[in-house]
Amino acid sequence: PFVPLRRITPSELATHGARKNETKTYWTVLEGKVYDMTPYLPYHPGGEKELLRVAGKDGTKLFNLTHPWVNWDNMLRGCEVGILVSENEMLK
């Protein structure tokens, strides 16, 4: 059956940030896709701290500044939570 992607707003994304996070899971956005980075944190060659800089927000710019050659789409397969939509889009 067709399973639509879960839609996530910037405010929900923000509840998975580095601070004041009761969920204890850390999400980021790459090219409009929302990922749960939590299982990947211990494996990041650049360290957990760098990943947490983009927790709860869009990581696309910083990611591409640091290592545009890394294939995140492949690496984070299975960690996708849904797609980012604006608060307005969510009301439609």
Q: Which residues bind ligand HEM (CB under 6 A)?
A: 28, 37, 44-46, 50-51, 53-54, 59, 62-63, 66-67, 70, 72, 75-76
Least distance to ligand HEM, CB of residue 63, Å: 5
> Are the beta carbons of 25 and 36 closer than 8 angstroms?
yes
Residues 6+ apart with CB under 8 A from 4: none
Nearer to ligand HEM, 15 or 87 (CB): 15
Nearest CA among 27, 75, 89 for reference residue 54:
27
Least distance to ligand HEM, CB of residue 71, Å: 8
> CA–CA separation, 68 vs 62, rounded Å?
9
Least distance to ligand HEM, CB of residue 57, Å: 10
